[in-house]
C-alpha cells in the first residue's frame, strides 16, 4: 500500500450532505504523531461558500419557527450521541491533533458542557414582560435568532471549540456555517454526522473547509449576521476589523499569555504540580495554557525553579497510543520550528535554559512533530518570549520582589486572557482579583477556565468584541430582541393627538 492510497479525500458538509470540493485546491492533513499525511481537505472557493450560505439561509426560517422545546430535543439527542460515540471520536481527535486520549476525552466532556449550556436555551431565550408601564401599555421583549452565522475554529480543540461556538447558536435557532481549521477537519465532519443523526434539519449545520478565501467570503457576505472566531490574536484582530467593516457583530477570541503568580506563602509542591499540567498539557497548545510563572521573592523563585526542574525532567512525551505519555507532538513541523526559534531567541536575549526540550529523544525515532518540555528562567519583560504567545511547550519563569510588581507586569502585557495565583492569603487574593486586568482569573486553580455555565472571554488584545464563548452571554450574542409596546384600547375611547415626547413617568407631583 502506498502513501497515495492511504490518503483520504475529505469533503464539505452542506445541507446535510457530504459534498466534494470543486476548487481542485486541497490542504494536507497530518497525523502529528507520525508526521504522515492522512487526508487532504478541499479548500472552498468563494462561490462554494456563497452557495452553502444560500442553502443555510433557506433552511433558517423553518428552524427559527420550530419551537424551542423541539430544537432543544435535537441537542439532547446530539449530547447522547457524543457520549455513545465517545471512543470513536477520541480516536479521530488524537489522530489528527496528536493529543493524548485522556486529553481528547477531557475536551469532549468540556464540549458537552457547551451542549448543556445550549440545552438551557429555553431559559436563555426569555425576554422581559412589564405590565402597564403607563397609559395601559404593556412592554415586553421577544428574542429571535439572527439568521445565518459563521464560526471559525482553531486546530487545538478539534471538537470542543466547534461545540463551544456552535451549540448555542443552533439551539437558539440560527443556521451555522463552521469553518474548521484545515489541520483538523475530520473531527468537524464527524460531528456533522452526529448532528444529522440527532435529527438536526439539513442546512442548519454546515462545515465549509477552506483557507483565507472561505474566511473572507464569510466575513464579507451580507447574509452572514454574526461571526465567532477562536485563534491567534493577529487573526482575531483581522476578523474583528474585517467583519465589523461589513457591519456584522463579531466575537473574536485571540491568544493568551497566562501567568501563574506564585506567592511566598503558597505550598510550592502543590503549586509545581499544578503548573506542570497547566503549562505543558496538550504540548501547551491551549489558549488557556499557563505560559509561565511569576514568582514573588528571590528565594522562592530559586526553590520553585528547582522543584519544577526535577518534575519537568520526569515528563514523558510521545504518541497518544501510549497511555503513559504526558503530552504529544505539536501540530505541524512549522509550528515546531517556530517554537524552537522562540527558545533560541530567548537564550540569545539572556534567558537561562532550565530544561531543554528542543531535541526530545522520541524525535530521533519518529517523524512526529515532537518537542520536549522547555523551561527558561531569568526571563525579563522585554524579551520576545515574554511578550508573545508561544503555542508549544516552552514556558518561562520570571522573578519579582512584590505582588504589586507581579500584577503590574501582567497588567502591562497586551494580552489579558487568563491568569492564576497560588497563595494561602485571603488579602493577597483579594488584591489580585481586584487589580488584575485579565478576563479569566484563578485562585489556587491551575487553569482558570470558567465552568461552561459562566462566561468565557479575555480582556485587552485577547478578545475583540462583546461576545462570549461559553456561558449565558453567548446566547445573547446569537440573538436579537424586539422590544414591544402593546396597548388594546377600548374602541370607543376618546383620543387626542400628543405632540410632546412620550414618557411614562411623572416627576412633577
Instruction: Say whether 287 is catalytic.
Output: yes
* 110 contact partners, CB below 8 Å, separation of at least 6: 160, 452
Q: Of the candidates 19, 18, 340, 281, which has an alpha carbon nearest to the alpha carbon of residue 157?
A: 281
Q: Which residue has the cell 423553518?
A: 62
Site string for a second copy, 55-74 (x = CB under 8 A): ----------x-xxxx-xx-
129 binds a second copy (CB under 8 A): yes
> Within positions 364 to 423, which residues make up the interface with a second copy, using CB under 8 A?
423
340 binds a second copy (CB under 8 A): no
User: Shortest distance, CB of residue 241 to a second copy, whole angstroms?
Assistant: 5
Among 43, 53, 112, 153, binds a second copy (CB under 8 A): 112
Sign of the Cα torsion 231, 362, 258, 277 reads positive
Q: Of the candidates 449, 396, 407, 446, which has an alpha carbon nearest to the alpha carbon of residue 429?
A: 407
C-alpha span between 118 and 470 (Å, rounded)? 9
Among 79, 183, 196, 336, binds a second copy (CB under 8 A): 79
CB nearer a second copy, residue 250 or residue 346: 250
User: Shortest distance, CB of residue 273 to a second copy, whole angstroms?
Assistant: 5
C-alpha span between 343 and 364 (Å, rounded)? 20
User: Shortest distance, CB of residue 25 to a second copy, whole angstroms?
Assistant: 31
Among 105, 302, 358, 367, binds a second copy (CB under 8 A): 105
CB nearer a second copy, residue 44 or residue 56: 56
> Within positions 228 to 287, which residues make up the interface with a second copy, using CB under 8 A?
237, 240-241, 244-245, 247, 249-250, 267, 269-270, 273-274, 276-277, 280-282, 286
The H or E element that residue 138 is part of is: strand 138-145
User: Shortest distance, CB of residue 8 to a second copy, whole angstroms?
Assistant: 27
480 binds a second copy (CB under 8 A): yes
352 binds a second copy (CB under 8 A): no
Q: What is residue 475's DSSP assignment?
A: H
CB nearer a second copy, residue 233 or residue 335: 233
Torsion, CA 53, CA 54, CA 56, CA 62, rounded to 10: 150
C-alpha span between 457 and 287 (Å, rounded)? 11
Catalytic pick from 89, 163, 235, 287?
287
- 214-247 burial, b if ≥16 CB within 10 A, otherwise e? bbebbbebebbbbbbbbbbbebbebbbebbbeee
User: Shortest distance, CB of residue 317 to a second copy, whole angstroms?
Assistant: 11
Among 160, 235, 385, 407, binds a second copy (CB under 8 A): 160
CB nearer a second copy, residue 57 or residue 77: 77
Among 399, 446, 462, 474, binds a second copy (CB under 8 A): 446
User: Shortest distance, CB of residue 210 to a second copy, whole angstroms?
Assistant: 24
Count of residues in contact with a second copy, rule CB under 8 A: 142
Q: What is residue 152's DSSP assignment?
A: E
Lookup: cell for 276: 506542570
CB nearer a second copy, residue 110 or residue 183: 110
The H or E element that residue 464 is part of is: strand 463-464
User: Shortest distance, CB of residue 283 to a second copy, whole angstroms?
Assistant: 10
Among 48, 107, 182, 389, binds a second copy (CB under 8 A): 107
Coil, helix or strand at residue 355: strand
Site string for a second copy, 450-469 (x = CB under 8 A): xxxxxxxx-x-x--xxxx--
Lookup: cell for 53: 450560505
Strands 479-486 and 290-296: unpaired
Site string for a second copy, 170-199 (x = CB under 8 A): -----------------------------x
C-alpha span between 55 and 130 (Å, rounded)? 39
User: Shortest distance, CB of residue 162 to a second copy, whole angstroms?
Assistant: 15
Among 91, 116, 220, 223, binds a second copy (CB under 8 A): 116
Instruction: Give the sheet arrangement for strand 17-19, strand by strand.
Output: 17-19, 12-14, 205-207, 175-179, 148-152, 224-230, 249-253, 463-464
159 binds a second copy (CB under 8 A): no
103 binds a second copy (CB under 8 A): yes
The residues annotated as belonging to the active site are 287
Amino acid at each position: 500500500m502506498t502513501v497515495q492510497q492511504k490518503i483520504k479525500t475529505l469533503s464539505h458538509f452542506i445541507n446535510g450532505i457530504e459534498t466534494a470540493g470543486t476548487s481542485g485546491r486541497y490542504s494536507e492533513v497530518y497525523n502529528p504523531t507520525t508526521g504522515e499525511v492522512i487526508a487532504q481537505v478541499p479548500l472552498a472557493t468563494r462561490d462554494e461558500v456563497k452557495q452553502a450560505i444560500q442553502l443555510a439561509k433557506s433552511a433558517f426560517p423553518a428552524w427559527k419557527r420550530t419551537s424551542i422545546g423541539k430544537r432543544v430535543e435535537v441537542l439532547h439527542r446530539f449530547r447522547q450521541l457524543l457520549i455513545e460515540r465517545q471512543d470513536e471520536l477520541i480516536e479521530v481527535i488524537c489522530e489528527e491533533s496528536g493529543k493524548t486520549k485522556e486529553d481528547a476525552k477531557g475536551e469532549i466532556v468540556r464540549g458537552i458542557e457547551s451542549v448543556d449550556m445550549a440545552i438551557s436555551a429555553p431559559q436563555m431565550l426569555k425576554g422581559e414582560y412589564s405590565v402597564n408601564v403607563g397609559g395601559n401599555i404593556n412592554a415586553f421583549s421577544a428574542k429571535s435568532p439572527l439568521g445565518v452565522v459563521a464560526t471559525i475554529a482553531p486546530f487545538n480543540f478539534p471538537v470542543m471549540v466547534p461545540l463551544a461556538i456552535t451549540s448555542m447558536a443552533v439551539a437558539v435557532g440560527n443556521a451555522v456555517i463552521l469553518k474548521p481549521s484545515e489541520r483538523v477537519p475530520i473531527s468537524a465532519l464527524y460531528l456533522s454526522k452526529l448532528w444529522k443523526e440527532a435529527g438536526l434539519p439539513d442546512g442548519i449545520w454546515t462545515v465549509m473547509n477552506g483557507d483565507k478565501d472561505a474566511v473572507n467570503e464569510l466575513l464579507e457576505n451580507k447574509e452572514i449576521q454574526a461571526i465567532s472566531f477562536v485563534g491567534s490574536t493577529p487573526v482575531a484582530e483581522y476578523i474583528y476589523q474585517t467583519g465589523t467593516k461589513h457591519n456584522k457583530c463579531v466575537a473574536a477570541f485571540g491568544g493568551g499569555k497566562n501567568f501563574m503568580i506564585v506567592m511566598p506563602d503558597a505550598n510550592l509542591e502543590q503549586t509545581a504540580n499544578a503548573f506542570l499540567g497547566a503549562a505543558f498539557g496538550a504540548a501547551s497548545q491551549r489558549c488557556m495554557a499557563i505560559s509561565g510563572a511569576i514568582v514573588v521573592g528571590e528565594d522562592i523563585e530559586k526553590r520553585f525553579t528547582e522543584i519544577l526542574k526535577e518534575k519537568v525532567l520526569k515528563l514523558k512525551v510521545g504518541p497518544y497510543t501510549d497511555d503513559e505519555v504526558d503530552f504529544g507532538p505539536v501540530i505541524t513541523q512549522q509550528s515546531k520550528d517556530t517554537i524552537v526559534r522562540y527558545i533560541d531567541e530567548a537564550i540569545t536575549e539572556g534567558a537561562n535554559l532550565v530544561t531543554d526540550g528542543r531535541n526530545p529523544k522520541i524525535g530521533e525515532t519518529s517523524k512526529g512533530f515532537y518537542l520536549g518540555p522547555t523551561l527558561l528562567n531569568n526571563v525579563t519583560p522585554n524579551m520576545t518570549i515574554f511578550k508573545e504567545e508561544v503555542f508549544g511547550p516552552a514556558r518561562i519563569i520570571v522573578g519579582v520582589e512584590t505582588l504589586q510588581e507581579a500584577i503590574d507586569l501582567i497588567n502591562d502585557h497586551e494580552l489579558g486572557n487568563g491568569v492564576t495565583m497560588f497563595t494561602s492569603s485571603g488579602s493577597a487574593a483579594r488584591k489580585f482579583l481586584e487589580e488584575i486586568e485579565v478576563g479569566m482569573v484563578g485562585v489556587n486553580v491551575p487553569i482558570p477556565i470558567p465552568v461552561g455555565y459562566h462566561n468565557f472571554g479575555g480582556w485587552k488584545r485577547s478578545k475583540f468584541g462583546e461576545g462570549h464563548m461559553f456561558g449565558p452571554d453567548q446566547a445573547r450574542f446569537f440573538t436579537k430582541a424586539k422590544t414591544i409596546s402593546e396597548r388594546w384600547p377600548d374602541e370607543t375611547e376618546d383620543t387626542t393627538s400628543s405632540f410632546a415626547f412620550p414618557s411614562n413617568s411623572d416627576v412633577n407631583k
